[in-house]
Chains A and B, each alone.
Chain A
């Protein structure tokens, strides 16, 4: 193997003679002389060959046996290799800094921006979005049949919402769903599951849940969560470029954790505001604490686990609610309460349900993917 010069103009290789004079590589080939300052020289080593290129002429290459290059370059060769190493370190450091910056923005910037963004979202937008959500949820969860109970629930929601500072038309309705939960959707709809109604022992407990949901709507927590999930999701998707490697998955998981963390703050705020709304109506706010406490105790029951996932810190929240609670009128009379309890039929847990729950299967609906806060509470 000999030293060959490829001039970058034709694919013909020219035999070449090379020497280094004062930090300049002199190449003589095909009757011409080329001078490459070593500062701009890059060396690729592969298969026993050194392949040299120079900043000044993009396409030209000098190819020589690696041993020849080592003899020729001596200390220069090492300097060139070091330069390459330094460049890579600088690249990795700046990319890592960019990664850190993006992480910081995802963890703190996006959640901080989501509140103002939610408040700036036009009411009409949120309502239309809520309608779309509601249609999607309607496919999953069917409305309970008891008309009177539904009417009473809706009326209770309206009474509480009248005390709240919200432009939205709050519409509470009971739905069949295999979990103990209630959802505030964007723009006013509130869904309460049949299992939650069954689990509630007093009208106070149910009214506390509804007041909590109304507060979510008033504070536009759902919209805030939509913006937050969207911001985090968009940003992280943008960074990882939709790839599916392990690194990408880790990044996306971290994003979801952030989303959950900020969801908890909204829950506590809604507890507090919900109790105030009940007080303003002269209703008892003593239902909230026992309800949380009971769900906290019924660990191991899958439905409670579902509730816990969207309502973390039940014990702490129960204690906080107890410290704020005030006595007042019950939200519903005994007859009304009976009608509400009957709204979703008398179906108690069937044997299949119980078995499924026992083995922890068959009971979780697909988690809504519009940000977990669609199940805000």
Chain B
């Protein structure tokens, strides 16, 4: 059976009796019987320190080619440290799959892309713009496409009690929706983004299956967790410094206006150079320093929104009669993110596995479920994609 035949009308999925499974004792109340879902983490981040060191060193001696296998090993160990009703999840992906996916992305996308950009050097400036601009739009589409395919790969390589997850739906469609979401958000100065983010989540989680069991996403339930309040807070607080800066500049200009007209009559020394150049190193150091100071502030301002969005998405997800809550609060989330970034920065990325284990544990500790799901009655279906998340990897992001 292929994914397509199972895709059919979604409503079919959860009423389909699993043929090879003994019926549960009270079969007429199929929605109410089943298990409550209890998540538990046995992850010990400190046990990832050795793995971090090993991956880092192997990356260096293999010209970073080991990274696909390293990433796979980290995932394998994170997955097995997460338990649902006493049984561990299992990551079944292989490094070779990620490597092949990366090579495919390189061949199919990277090469033509670079040829076009390089070719534009030989064209006139007008042509160059005409070629490069659509290319950048295409990248947005590709980003969405990459997120979806990466999620699809991860789902297909995740099993619990021997049953695989899988993601239906269309990666291309998701890509188009993503362009639309980004453009609309741009036009609305960002105010469409919370809506877009939930819709994007619906398009991922609503397409997820655990074997033949359907994971659902209810926008109604997701919307019960408000996100626009925290968004407004983040938006206004981001705007504030700009407004302040603008006011200060305007005031200085107003105060100095008479002075400036005087200055113009005085012979001014010629400007030292067409571009006031500052050594690159100094510029770099200063901008890094500013980023280092600003980043935690920006994150703090947006943390309430990020936390609300995570709670909202978790609230929208359900499987059978089981729904979920993710108890993420703004300040702990902010601290988690900032401390992770600091560790990554100061260890030059060496401790990435540790950071990932720590984050996964943190999230699982906050994940609760109410209601029950008939997970015992779940049957295996479908197979996953053959190669890994090449696109996602080429863009340098990954869900974990």
Contact B272 A241 (CB under 8 A): no
Segment of B53-61, B177-185, B226-234, B325-333 engaged in the interface with chain A: B53-61
A312 part of interface (Cβ distance < 8 Å)? no
The smallest C-beta distance from B215 to any residue of chain A, in angstroms, reads 14
A98 part of interface (Cβ distance < 8 Å)? yes
Known contacts A238-B106, A247-B64; decide if A11 and B160 are in contact (CB<8 Å): yes
A35-59 interface mask toward B, CB cutoff 8 Å, 1 = contact, 0 = none? 0000000001011010100000011
A242 part of interface (Cβ distance < 8 Å)? yes
Known contacts A176-B274, A177-B273; decide if A10 and B59 are in contact (CB<8 Å): no
Known contacts A11-B211, A347-B270, A350-B270; decide if A230 and B65 are in contact (CB<8 Å): no
A91-116 interface mask toward B, CB cutoff 8 Å, 1 = contact, 0 = none? 11001101110110000000000000
A135 part of interface (Cβ distance < 8 Å)? yes
Known contacts A9-B379, A99-B65, A234-B114; decide if A246 and B350 are in contact (CB<8 Å): yes
**B21 cross-chain contacts in A, Cβ below 8 A:** 10, 12
Contact A47 B80 (CB under 8 A): yes
Q: Tell me which of B18, B67, B163, B277 contacts A178 (CB under 8 A).
A: B277
B148-174 interface mask toward A, CB cutoff 8 Å, 1 = contact, 0 = none? 000000000001111110000000000
**A141 cross-chain contacts in B, Cβ below 8 A:** 274
B118 part of interface (Cβ distance < 8 Å)? yes
Known contacts A140-B275, A241-B394, A243-B396; decide if A44 and B60 are in contact (CB<8 Å): no
**B59 cross-chain contacts in A, Cβ below 8 A:** 245, 247
Q: Tell me which of A59, A251, A351, A361 contacts B380 (CB under 8 A).
A: A59
Known contacts A12-B21, A61-B162, A99-B63; decide if A361 and B88 are in contact (CB<8 Å): no
B196-218 interface mask toward A, CB cutoff 8 Å, 1 = contact, 0 = none? 00000000000000110000000
- Distance of A363 Cα from B380 Cα, bound (Å): 67
Size category of the B interface is 35 or more
B242-282 interface mask toward A, CB cutoff 8 Å, 1 = contact, 0 = none? 00000000000000000000000000011011111111101
Q: Tell me which of B164, B272, B352 contacts A59 (CB under 8 A).
A: B164
- Distance of A28 Cα from B129 Cα, bound (Å): 68
B362-400 interface mask toward A, CB cutoff 8 Å, 1 = contact, 0 = none? 000000000000011111100000000000011110000
A132 part of interface (Cβ distance < 8 Å)? yes
A2-23 interface mask toward B, CB cutoff 8 Å, 1 = contact, 0 = none? 0000111111110000000000
Contact A239 B162 (CB under 8 A): no
Segment of B4-12, B119-127, B133-141, B291-299 engaged in the interface with chain A: B119-127
The smallest C-beta distance from B338 to any residue of chain A, in angstroms, reads 18
**B273 cross-chain contacts in A, Cβ below 8 A:** 176-178, 365
Known contacts A98-B63, A248-B64, A362-B277; decide if A238 and B110 are in contact (CB<8 Å): yes
- Distance of A99 Cα from B162 Cα, bound (Å): 37
Considering only residues 42-63 of chain B, those with a C-beta below 8 Å from chain A are 42, 56, 58-63
The smallest C-beta distance from A118 to any residue of chain B, in angstroms, reads 14
Contact B162 A362 (CB under 8 A): no
B90 part of interface (Cβ distance < 8 Å)? yes
**B276 cross-chain contacts in A, Cβ below 8 A:** 362
| Nearest B-chain residue to A124, judged by Cβ | B122
**B349 cross-chain contacts in A, Cβ below 8 A:** 244-246
**B87 cross-chain contacts in A, Cβ below 8 A:** 13, 63
- Distance of A265 Cα from B159 Cα, bound (Å): 58
- Distance of A353 Cα from B106 Cα, bound (Å): 47
The smallest C-beta distance from B33 to any residue of chain A, in angstroms, reads 14
Contact A51 B393 (CB under 8 A): no
**A60 cross-chain contacts in B, Cβ below 8 A:** 162
A-B contact count (CB 8 A): 188
**A238 cross-chain contacts in B, Cβ below 8 A:** 106, 110
- Distance of A7 Cα from B95 Cα, bound (Å): 25
Considering only residues 108-136 of chain A, those with a C-beta below 8 Å from chain B are 125, 128-129, 131-132, 135
| Nearest A-chain residue to B274, judged by Cβ | A142
Contact B65 A10 (CB under 8 A): no
Contact A9 B20 (CB under 8 A): yes
**B163 cross-chain contacts in A, Cβ below 8 A:** 8, 10-11, 59
- Distance of A178 Cα from B276 Cα, bound (Å): 9
The smallest C-beta distance from A127 to any residue of chain B, in angstroms, reads 9
**A352 cross-chain contacts in B, Cβ below 8 A:** 269, 272
Contact B272 A11 (CB under 8 A): no
The smallest C-beta distance from A11 to any residue of chain B, in angstroms, reads 4
| Nearest A-chain residue to B123, judged by Cβ | A128
**B66 cross-chain contacts in A, Cβ below 8 A:** 92, 95
- Distance of A102 Cα from B64 Cα, bound (Å): 11
Q: Tell me which of A11, A102, A246 contacts B162 (CB under 8 A).
A: A11
Known contacts A129-B121, A244-B396; decide if A46 and B18 are in contact (CB<8 Å): no
**A347 cross-chain contacts in B, Cβ below 8 A:** 270
- Distance of A244 Cα from B350 Cα, bound (Å): 11
Contact B90 A61 (CB under 8 A): yes
Contact B62 A129 (CB under 8 A): no
Chain A residues proximal to chain B, CB less than 8 Å = 6-13, 44, 46-47, 49, 51, 58-61, 63, 91-92, 95-96, 98-100, 102-103, 125, 128-129, 131-132, 135, 140-142, 176-178, 230, 234, 238-251, 347, 350-353, 356, 360-367
28 contacts between A and B (CB under 8 A): A11-B163, A11-B377, A11-B378, A12-B377, A46-B88, A58-B92, A59-B380, A60-B162, A91-B69, A95-B66, A96-B61, A99-B61, A132-B121, A178-B277, A238-B106, A239-B63, A241-B67, A241-B396, A242-B394, A243-B64, A246-B348, A246-B350, A350-B270, A353-B272, A356-B272, A361-B278, A361-B282, A365-B277
Query: 7 new A-B pairs (CB below 8 Å) besides A10-B377, A46-B42?
Result: A9-B162, A10-B163, A44-B90, A95-B62, A128-B122, A361-B279, A365-B273
**10 nearest interchain CB pairs?**
A99-B63, A6-B162, A245-B349, A246-B348, A95-B62, A11-B378, A178-B273, A11-B161, A8-B162, A247-B59
Chain B residues proximal to chain A, CB less than 8 Å = 18, 20-22, 42, 56, 58-67, 69, 76-77, 80-81, 83, 87-88, 90, 92, 95, 102, 106, 110, 114, 118, 121-125, 128, 159-164, 210-211, 269-270, 272-280, 282, 348-350, 352, 375-380, 393-396
